[in-house]
Structure 1
Amino acid sequence: MSEDGPTAAVDVLLVEDNSGDVTLVERAFDERDLPGTLHTARTGSDALDWLNQRGEYADAPMPEIVLLDLNLPATSGHDVLREIKSTPELRQLPVVVLTSSQATADLEEAYEQHANACLIKPVDPEEFADRIETLTDFWISTAVLPSSSSSQ
């Protein structure tokens, strides 16, 4: 990807505590040469610190999109989503929920909290990579994202 390409500077924050799922997403980005730079937060509280640029994340790049697991220990993905969508400076940030839960209530709650999309994680690693590729193709290469430098 060229430095002057439209997606060269897109930062993606993956919020995921499952090492296997982190590896699958990293592998999809690497092996399929997906656009964007992937960053990972392993807990909901780390994600909120990252997004609010607190503590060790004071200099972290502000992502243009968040891939958020719902089933996080302590500060849940629902809590993270609720805070993102209720914080004026973060509200426009697209959040795609990644979940292994097929429970209708979980998906409905995520959409009620203004998730931009929900994706159920496939068990098959190749299908998982296909979905990550489709997701990034839309959210990074096709959709027009709000500038991370603009604030409300």
Structure 2
Amino acid sequence: MTPDDEQGGNQITILLIEPNPGDTRLFTESFKDAKLKNELYTISDGDAALDFVNQRGEYAAKPRPDLILLEPKLPGKSGMDVLSELNNEPALQEIPVVALTSSEIGEDIVKSHGFDADQYVQKPVEAEDFVNFVQEIENLWFAIVQEPSSEE
């Protein structure tokens, strides 16, 4: 798949799991500003995130995400709990998970607690950096889907 294929109508469904309303707003606005063909859903806690990916309750009619952006520090079930459930459920373990960290040190801390995401991306600090961040996420998606599976 190439970016041109993306323009052809293949839409990426992204689930953002982020408890900070300010960061959620910046993500949402940046995705709109970048004019990417993505469908972005936002959830602010771990319990709702698991309901969303499992298509339970109020999320029963929502699509299963193609990519999950996960802030490890969540109210309710932690990001670690969410990731563990995703990894232990065969139908969900194929969904790439990108851990959002606040710094390189944050990434080391998250990894030291056994948080094993597919990728780690540092969240931007400045609002104007979010559009570049969104482009980085799209590029990361293309890299993930083009990566040959070592298990096949």
Does 1:38 pair with 2:40?
Answer: yes
For residue 110 of structure 2, what is the aligned residue in structure 1? Answer: 106
For residue 139 of structure 2, what is the aligned residue in structure 1? Answer: 137
| C-alpha distance after superposition, 1:26-64 (max 9, x if no partner) | 111111112311011111100000111111111111010
Structure 2 CA distance for aligned equivalents of residues 32 and 144 of structure 1: 20
Q: 1:77 to 1:4 in 2, by over 3 A?
A: closer
For structure 2, the 5+ residue unaligned runs are 147-152
* 2:22 pairs with one of 20, 23, 27: 20
Does 1:58 pair with 2:56?
Answer: no
For structure 1, the 5+ residue unaligned runs are 146-152
Q: 1:6 to 1:115 in 2, by over 3 A?
A: farther
Aligned-partner SS, 1:73: coil
Contact 2:16–2:43, Cα closer than 8 Å, also in 1: yes
Contact 2:50–2:82, Cα closer than 8 Å, also in 1: yes
Aligned-partner SS, 1:14: strand
How much has 1:2 moved relative to structure 2? 9.5
How much has 1:4 moved relative to structure 2? 8.0
Q: 1:41 to 1:138 in 2, by over 3 A?
A: same
Structure 2 CA distance for aligned equivalents of residues 7 and 133 of structure 1: 18
Q: Percent identity?
A: 36
How much has 1:3 moved relative to structure 2? 10
For residue 149 of structure 2, what is the aligned residue in structure 1? Answer: none
Q: Root-mean-square deviation (CA), in Å? A: 2.5
Structure 2 CA distance for aligned equivalents of residues 93 and 46 of structure 1: 17
Letter paired with 2:47: S
TM-score of the superposition, structure 2-length normalised?
Answer: 0.82
Bigger fraction of residues in helix: 2
* 1:76 pairs with one of 47, 72, 78: 78
